[in-house]
Amino acid sequence: MFRRFSVNFALLSMILDALAIGCALYGAAHLRPYLSFLPFAAYYPQYIALPWATYPLFAIEWVAILILFSVYDGRRNLHWLDELGSLMLGSLLAAMAMAGTLYLSFRLVSRLLFTAFVFLGLFAMNAWRMLYRLARRLRPGASQPRRGVIILGAGEVGRQLEQQILANPQLNLSVRGFLDDQAPENQAGLLGTLDELQKVVLQSSPQDVVIALPLQAYQKTNDLIAELHHLPVKVWLIPDYFRLALHKAAIEEFAGIPMLDLCAPAISDAQRLLKRLFDLVVTLITLPFALAAMGVIALAIRLESPGPVLFIQDRVGENGRLFKMYKFRSMRVAAEAPQQALEHQGEQGRLIHKRAADPRVTRLGKILRRTSLDELPQLFNVLKGDMSLVGPRPELPQLVERYETWQRQRFSIPQGITGWWQINGRSDRPMHLHTEDDLYYIQHYSILLDIWILLKTVMVVLQGKGAF
């Protein structure tokens, strides 16, 4: 009855969360007297009953905000980390909302009690989700039969869909086979041609039919959709437009007509807002300490060699926008001229524009580069909004001109001081591998991933590997 992606399961999840919130509030109220030993806690001699209205009020408020964060949309939270990220972000906003509610109503509720309640509630809601996922892993497919899927089109798009289904058994989907006019007759999983659609569907009784045909089969796609309307299946369409899109597509209304946006943002507005808020908070906390270090570095640069302290260079930012990026000067003045002479090709013929023994770099510059301290002035780029703390590295315009089309996808989100490729190789990785790592980051973006990359960056910098 309670299928993973059903309305019933979503309602059950809301009820379980509401119960977890109520139990957490009740437990925090009884736990509070035992926390009086903490040095910052006021003495709380015994259990004090909370107003009864706080129980339904907090449960409704918290669950409602989780709905806004799509926590109950199973298809958007296939993996545990995705669901945990949505749950934590929603709970953070819910905690702020409930704190405001207390301020306007029940001010006598202890702040320590409220903090304990939030942590207990978050723990309880995450605990039942983990137990549920564990039960499904131990008994895969026991709760419901797998939905049969037939894919129309055995080309690259259709095979990618098959791999996605195989890689996500929690979807409870099973590919029955393919229909295609162009595929060889002995190809694995081929059930027949597209003209045999009605016969194959009636024989194999799938629940879903996915059309994954190339652009040139536009007319054939229309005919198949018309035919499928008379069959008891759900019809899905994968437009072969992803080769034209920079990152991903989204359905939006344009002039009142639903259309496919081929340049949809790689991250949602909520993610972008949270990312920007995270950047500002971390930067402002770090800046007082960074300013002291920057003063010492600036003085050392001026004493070592003549010239400006900062190196300001045009870089390509989000959506291809040019901006001025700040770094501490680590080279001799007018050292950009020999750049082309130092560029070389890697084993696969790809351009590498850095090498360890660079004669342009000063003695102090080598230290700054190995410790990445030359990047500190980019905190001001973050404050200005030109960059983010974490993201694809902003590239030189002349290198972007040599990019292949697929590599330009890396500019679909804010560029960063550090990123996924920096913690997996830094400067000793060739340019084309930078892009593959950047695309991995874009496809798996979350604020938790940003935090992990920042922590891992500190470890990589301390090791001093791959930076020059």
Task: Set out the domains of the chain in order of their start, with CATH numbers.
Answer: 7-138 (no CATH), 147-241 (3.40.50.720), 269-463 (no CATH)
Give the model's pLDDT for residue 6: 65
Answer whether 373's CB lies under 8 Å from 293's CB: yes
Please tell me the predicted confidence (pLDDT) of residue 343.
Answer: 53
pLDDT of 139 higher than 90: no
Query: H or E segment at 361?
Result: none
- Tell me what the mean pLDDT of segment 67-72 comes to: 85
End-to-end CA distance of the chain: 59
Per-residue pLDDT at 299: 94
The distance from CA 181 to its chain's CA centroid, rounded to whole angstroms, is 38
| Measured distance CA(280)–CA(287) in Å, rounded | 10
Reported as a pLDDT band with limits 50, 70 and 90, residue 348 is very low
Q: How many helices (H) and strands (E) does the chain have?
A: 14, 13
For residue 57, the model assigns a pLDDT of 92
405-419 average pLDDT score: 84
Task: Tell me what the mean pLDDT of segment 31-45 comes to.
Answer: 75
- pLDDT value of position 298: 93
Position 211 pLDDT exceeds 50: yes
Give CA–CA dist 382/284, Å, rounded. Answer: 10
Checking if the pLDDT of 116 tops 80, the result is yes
Tokens of 371: 């410790």
Burial class (CB in 10 A: 0-12, 13-18, 19+), 227: middle
Q: What is the mean pLDDT of residues 36-52?
A: 75
Highest-pLDDT range among 142-151, 271-280, 428-437: 271-280
pLDDT over 60 at 388, yes or no: yes
Count of Cβ atoms closer than 10 Å to residue 147 Cβ: 17
- Dihedral sign computed on CA atoms, order 172, 177, 179, 181: positive
- In this structure, are residues 43 and 83 in contact, taking their beta carbons and an 8 Å threshold? no
